[in-house]
A and B are shown apart, each in its own frame.
Chain A
Amino acid sequence: MSTSLSAPLDLAFDYTRSLGPVLGRFAAGLRERRIEGVRGADGRVHVPPVEYDPVTAAALTEFVPVSDEGTVLSWSWMAEPLAGQPLTTPFAWALIRLDGADTAMLHAVHVPGPADMSTGMRVRARWAAEPVGHIRDIAYFLPVGAPDGPSPAPPPESAQDGVMVTPIQLHYRHSASPEESRYLRGLAEGKLTGQRCPACGKVYIPPRGACPTDGVPTVDEVELPDTGIVTTFCIVNVPFLGQRIPPPYVAAYILLDGADIAFLHLVLGCDAAQVRMGMRVRAAWKPRDEWWTSLENISHFEPTGEPDAPYESFAHHL
């Protein structure tokens, strides 16, 4: 049996978060290169600030300025920094209790090697060159007394306060199941390959790792024609980011002849208002030299002009 298909899957998105009064004030302070904590119900000063007291759950409102210098309570060595971390050269993670605070914050400490780290050592914040109101405005911490050049002047007031944007990037290796792999390899040859459940006899395209009715893998391969019917559809009128076809156009569930499950595709080649349930359609394939292991090889479906399928013939597939 041939191996399953797999490919890199890279995800990236920006988390845009509203901050609220407590974290908003903390972030705005960072943009002005100062650090503020909040006083808890027991008098302890929390840095980073917490919105509600961890013991009494009371809303906390008393802000307390703290120092940008503090003491390392614990540390670990990051010998091979990972993407997105504060430094690209080896560094220490540390729990740092700033002077004036009673809780510790997590951040990076920039030192040459683990021999330069110790519990109890004194560190101070190194501010980012262009602060924006984000935890990353503290670029990293340095041992107190380490040479670091002059800090830039605080930036002016900003209208951006209250929101923070954090870019997220994740990298995966995505694998198709053995059944999906056979289907995708079939598409690269212009074939539509379904598989039949050995228990209930239903034909699935794409085939499934397990029949959703019986929970057993689908096994028998079934080559399906590129003709079928529209079971249900919607007319897309709304423009959105990344849209490839000007609206209005039709996204439809296509039930291939001989299949027991419909899949989503486009119906083009006629006025959107002409599309209807039961309409007979045929695949419009892209030129052969553009085929790969993807359903994108079918550009869209278009009407065949044959008489519609009667409703009763597909009602149980809706």
Chain B
Amino acid sequence: MRDVAVVGFAQAPNVRSTPGTTNGVEMLVPILAQVYEQTGLSKQDIGFWCSGSSDYLAGRAFSFISAIDAIGAFPPIHESHVEMDAAWALYEAWLKIRTGEADTALVYGFGKSSAGQLRRVLALQLDPYTVAPLWPDSVSIAALQARLGLDAGLWSEKDLAAVAARSRADATRNPFAQVSGGTEVCGVTELLDAPYLADPLRAHDIAPVTDGAAVIVLAAADRAAEFAERPAVITGIEHRVDTPVLGARDLTRSPSTEAAGRAVGTGGVEIAELHAPFTHQELILRTALGLGDDVRINPSGGALAGNPMFAAGLARIGEAASRILTGEASKVLAHATSGPALQQNLVAVLEA
């Protein structure tokens, strides 16, 4: 089967709130134009289209159908959609190219997280019989996970603040970031002075509520040189899932990430973009993937600098691929998560 490469990536600015519609068209039209320009492709050249978004985020049924206006679906196109982060849409597109059904694919994700009350809307992805009727919000669930690790001595509040401080400092170099700041304004000591938002988590431990969108163009590796000077070839990609029963798994570990990481092989990775919407989750992922201190984590600032729902995981793949496209690195890792407390995880390794 053929290899697949990332040949283009663009993202909308990560912002607290856009005035646009929940179907994402306003955010998508400009970034679609950017990837056409990067790759020299036009919409007639795209063999397969796939997107990730959520009707619950939009508050209306079939909201992703309206987004299709942004890609101009005439003459009729081959199109699909996943109701999860668009990293999983990328997986579907990767399969289409691997199996020879398409040479090129365009993958996009978008979310207007600000339209509803995000932490409450996300309660509806929990078990509908015994958990969701209690309306436990996504931040509280992450806080339960964080305390398990604190109590077990796996990390300290200072360790968590260090993740936040590094992410914010890195985000100052990311023009798309929503949250950033140098160490002079958000050093570890200053961060630990902040009050708890959801004890044991403080505001800096929690990804912001973000509106945003991202788009990636894939091509069969044997054609990728037509669209990019230094394509980022996906040499491994795998996704796994853990039980949805929160009280039945060890929340301080991520067995699905461990399994996905083992399957793709993480040796020799120089840079990793990890989709960790909470500081302690970066530490869980780092351990699960066996990433040593020599691996640069989230030079973009990561999800703590901006977490557009259903696009942030795809953006991690895009950010990682960009390091290869621009020549900064030759082997990178990207991770995406979906669901509560790192329930579902996707890991990809990309090489020059």
Contact = CB atoms under 8 A, between A and B. Distances in A.
Interface string B132-169: 11111100110111111001000000000000000000
Interface stretch (A77-85, A228-236, A279-287, A305-313): A77-85
A39 interface: no
B129 A135 contact: yes
B20 to A, nearest CB: 6
Interface string B113-146: 0111101110010001111111111001101111
Nearest to B19: A4
Given A77-B198, A79-B198, A134-B133, A210 B69 contact: yes
B196 A177 contact: no
B147 A76 contact: yes
B69 A209 contact: yes
B73 interface: yes
B175 interface: no
A168 B26 CA distance: 30
A89 interface: no
Contact of A83 (B56, B115, B135, B199): B135
Interface in A237-266: none
Nearest to A77: B199
Interface in B84-128: 114-117, 119-121, 124, 128
A160 to B, nearest CB: 16
A174 interface: yes
B201 A76 contact: yes
A77 B196 contact: yes
Contacts of A11: 59
A104 interface: yes
A50 interface: yes
A99 interface: no
Contacts of B68: 212
A175 B115 contact: yes
A105 B247 contact: yes
Contact of B245 (A17, A46, A177, A212): A46
A50 B134 CA distance: 18
Contact of A93 (B26, B72, B136): B136
Q: What is the predominant secondary structure among interface residues of chain B facing chain A? A: helix
B248 A15 contact: no
B235 interface: no
A209 B32 contact: no
Given A75-B144, A209-B21, A106 B134 contact: yes
B201 A135 contact: no
B147 A212 contact: no
A95 B134 contact: no
Contacts of A107: 134
Nearest to B148: A74
A50 B247 contact: no
A217 B198 contact: no
A61 interface: no
A17 B25 CA distance: 35
Interface residues of B, number: 61
Size bracket, chain A contacts: 35 or more
Nearest to B195: A79
A95 B143 contact: no
A19 interface: yes
Q: What is the predominant secondary structure among interface residues of chain A facing chain B? A: mixed
Interface in A118-152: 119, 134-136
Given A50-B248, A97-B247, A114-B199, A166 B72 contact: no
Contact of B134 (A83, A135, A172, A211): A135
A54 interface: yes
B151 A215 contact: no
A63 to B, nearest CB: 15
Interface in A46-85: 46, 48, 50, 54, 73-79, 82-85
A3 B19 contact: yes
Contacts of B137: 82, 85
A77 B132 CA distance: 18
Contact of A176 (B21, B70, B147, B245): B21
A76 B245 contact: no
B262 interface: no
A170 B116 contact: yes
Contacts of A46: 245, 248
A166 B132 contact: yes
Interface of A: 3-4, 6, 9, 11, 15, 17, 19, 23, 26-27, 46, 48, 50, 54, 73-79, 82-86, 93-95, 97, 103-108, 114, 119, 134-136, 164, 166, 168, 170-178, 180, 208-217
9 contacts: A17-B128, A74-B148, A74-B151, A93-B144, A104-B248, A174-B59, A174-B60, A177-B21, A180-B21
Interface of B: 19-23, 25-26, 29, 32, 43, 56, 58-60, 66, 68-74, 114-117, 119-121, 124, 128-137, 140-141, 143-148, 151, 196-201, 243, 245-248, 251
* 6 cross-chain pairs, A with B, having the tightest CB-CB distances, nearest first: A215-B72, A104-B247, A76-B143, A209-B25, A77-B199, A172-B59
Given A93-B143, A214-B72, 10 more contacts: A4-B20, A75-B144, A77-B143, A79-B197, A103-B245, A114-B196, A170-B121, A209-B21, A215-B72, A217-B29
